[in-house]
């Protein structure tokens, strides 16, 4: 079996500097145009600062991942190009690699996990065309990555890593170079930047550039609570593999942070603050971005903004949130809405045992529900020869504070009502 080759021959912890990123910027500028830095009045007013959104969702592949992918692929030797490319991705890196393969005339084979949204799979095929073969395998990114590396080893192909490679990190760092240039043109300096984190390729690139060019800028690294691999690595002092991750924030659902990325973050901990936000908070911000700014952000793309109100911002500071991607399948919005309502305390579920007597449903509606409560789900199973019939009832409250009164009325009622709580096995069947 041939040894797997990668696009990164550099020692794992070789530092990345601004000069490396500036060279990458020149290398990719012919095919990758700068994305807008958009002032956001709503968020600025909410936190008392000047908040700008770096719109990486407006890239040709709708994500910043094209930067690192193109930077890595464009530097391959003729021999490596002829050997072909293999990549694993949750979807966005794959689109960047597919784009590079088609543009540079290189054959590619891309592995994505089964939870990758159909929208992302379709876009991979569009960007890669006949140059790319798509393989769907594994229950998460890490399983797809194992399959990709095994295939590359067998065929002698080149692995283009999605985050754990120096050339990829350098390419992602061009986001920070653009931001500083765009702010400078407005006579502003960057005080704080919020960066979404999965494998931490973007975080490593941004932090490396700012360390040289804007060392007083604070960096907030934002992970999804269900896949906090950076937090786990910092606690252990080295990268560790999480036992399980919540796949909902698919662009950041990574079990293990990259080694080189962790090394860069660890050396810059004095300027990096790590936090996490719940998947429900991400959903709420996805909806707010769409309804207020008209931005279609994928879950990972809304991570940075979801953390904005959880970390103190100095009054009047210049803040940038990176909207890392916009590859969101419209079919997911029912789940997005559901998770957001649960997060805001507006959606609740109950198992209700109705006595098999006339008028019990009327009693539930008139005596238990509040005036602003709405039934959103009702599944009733009437069983003959039993004294009670069970129903699954979903309720949407007018205000989160209405829950206390609802529970009190349920306790006082002769009807047996049991609330289902997030995180329990029975609740997992609902969402």
Indicate whether 398 pLDDT > 60: yes
Give the per-residue pLDDT at 156: 95
Give the per-residue pLDDT at 7: 47
Phi, psi for residue 86 in degrees, rounded to 5: -125, 140
Instruction: Decide which of 44 and 92 is more confident.
Output: 44
Give the per-residue pLDDT at 383: 64
Give the per-residue pLDDT at 431: 66
How far apart are the C-alpha atoms of 314 and 232, rounded to whole Å? 28
Could you give the domains of the chain?
35-65+168-338 (3.40.50.1100), 66-163 (3.40.50.1100), 345-429 (3.30.70.260)
Instruction: Decide which of 72 and 356 is more confident.
Output: 72
Instruction: Decide which of 11 and 382 is more confident.
Output: 382
Find the catalytic residue in 89, 278, 304, 324. Answer: 324
Give the per-residue pLDDT at 384: 60
Q: Per-residue pLDDT tens for 143-159?
A: 999 999 999 999 999 99
- From first CA to last CA, the distance across the chain in angstroms is 44
Q: Using an 8 Å Cβ cutoff, are 390 and 415 in contact?
A: no
Give the per-residue pLDDT at 74: 95
How far apart are the C-alpha atoms of 15 and 97, rounded to whole Å? 24
Q: DSSP class of residue 29?
A: T
Helix, strand, coil tally for the chain in percent (to 5)? 45, 20, 35
Q: Per-residue pLDDT tens for 238-288?
A: 999 999 999 899 889 999 999 999 999 999 999 999 999 999 999 999 999
User: Which band of pLDDT confidence, cut at 50, 70 and 90, is reported for residue 118?
Assistant: confident
Give the per-residue pLDDT at 382: 64
Which two tokens mark 97?
């690699």
The verdict on whether 304 is a catalytic residue reads no
For the chain, what is the mean pLDDT?
A: 92
How far apart are the C-alpha atoms of 306 and 283, rounded to whole Å? 9
Indicate whether 340 pLDDT > 80: yes
Indicate whether 12 pLDDT > 70: no
Instruction: Decide which of 217 and 89 is more confident.
Output: 217
Give the per-residue pLDDT at 186: 97
Q: Per-residue pLDDT tens for 401-424?
A: 999 999 999 999 999 999 999 878
How far apart are the C-alpha atoms of 109 and 227, rounded to whole Å? 26
User: Which band of pLDDT confidence, cut at 50, 70 and 90, is reported for residue 59?
Assistant: very high
Instruction: Decide which of 166 and 4 is more confident.
Output: 166
Percent of the chain with pLDDT strictly greater than 70: 96
User: Which band of pLDDT confidence, cut at 50, 70 and 90, is reported for residue 8?
Assistant: very low
Find the catalytic residue in 65, 109, 120, 255. Answer: 65
* Angle separating helix axes 333-343 and 279-288, nearest 10 degrees: 110
The residue behind tokens 């930077």 is: 71
The verdict on whether 118 is a catalytic residue reads no
Give the per-residue pLDDT at 378: 93
Closest CA to 6 of 146, 145, 160: 160
Give the per-residue pLDDT at 86: 96
Indicate whether 328 pLDDT > 90: no
Q: Per-residue pLDDT tens for 25-53?
A: 999 998 999 999 999 999 999 999 999 99
**Pairing mode, strands 37-39 and 50-55:** antiparallel
Dihedral sign computed on CA atoms, order 225, 166, 183, 292: negative
């Amino acid at each position: 079996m041939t040894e797997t080759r990668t696009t990164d021959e550099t020692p794992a912890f070789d530092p990345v500097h601004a000069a490396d990123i500036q060279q990458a910027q020149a290398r990719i500028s012919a095919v990758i145009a700068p994305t807008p830095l958009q002032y956001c009045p709503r968020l600025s007013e909410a936190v008392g600062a000047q908040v700008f959104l770096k719109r990486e969702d407006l890239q040709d592949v709708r994500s910043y991942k094209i930067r690192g992918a193109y930077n890595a692929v464009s530097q391959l030797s003729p021999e490596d190009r002829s050997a072909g490319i293999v990549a694993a991705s949750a979807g966005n890196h794959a689109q960047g690699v597919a784009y590079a393969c088609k543009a540079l005339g290189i054959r590619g084979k891309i592995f994505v996990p089964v939870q990758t949204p159909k929208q992302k799979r379709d876009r991979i095929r569009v960007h890669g065309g006949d140059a790319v073969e798509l393989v769907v395998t594994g229950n998460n990114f890490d399983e797809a990555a194992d399959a990709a590396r095994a295939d590359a080893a067998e065929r002698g192909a080149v692995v283009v890593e999605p985050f754990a490679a120096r050339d990829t990190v350098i390419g992602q760092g061009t986001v920070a170079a653009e931001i500083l240039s765009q702010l400078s043109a407005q006579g502003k300096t960057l005080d704080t930047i919020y960066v979404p984190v999965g494998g931490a390729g973007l975080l490593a690139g941004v932090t490396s550039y700012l360390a040289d060019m804007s060392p007083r800028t604070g960096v907030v690294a934002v992970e999804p609570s269900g896949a906090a691999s950076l937090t786990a690595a910092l606690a252990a002092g080295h990268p560790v593999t999480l036992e399980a991750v919540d796949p909902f924030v698919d662009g950041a659902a990574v079990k293990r942070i990259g080694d080189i990325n962790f090394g860069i973050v660890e050396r810059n901990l004095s300027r990096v603050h790590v936090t996490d936000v719940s998947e429900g908070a991400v959903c709420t911000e996805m909806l707010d971005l769409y309804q207020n700014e008209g931005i279609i952000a994928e879950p990972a793309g809304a991570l940075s903004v979801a953390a904005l109100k959880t970390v103190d911002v100095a009054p009047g500071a210049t803040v940038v949130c990176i909207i890392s991607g916009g590859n969101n399948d419209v079919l997911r919005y029912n789940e997005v809405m559901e998770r957001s309502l649960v997060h805001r305390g507006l959606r609740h579920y109950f198992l209700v045992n109705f006595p098999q007597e006339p008028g019990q449903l009327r009693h539930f509606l008139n005596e238990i529900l509040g005036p602003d409560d709405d039934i959103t789900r009702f599944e009733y199973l009437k069983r003959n020869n039993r004294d009670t019939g069970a129903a699954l009832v979903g309720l949407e409250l007018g205000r989160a504070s209405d829950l206390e009164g609802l529970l009190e009325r349920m306790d006082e009622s002769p009807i047996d009502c049991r609330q289902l709580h997030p995180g329990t096995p029975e609740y997992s069947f609902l969402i």
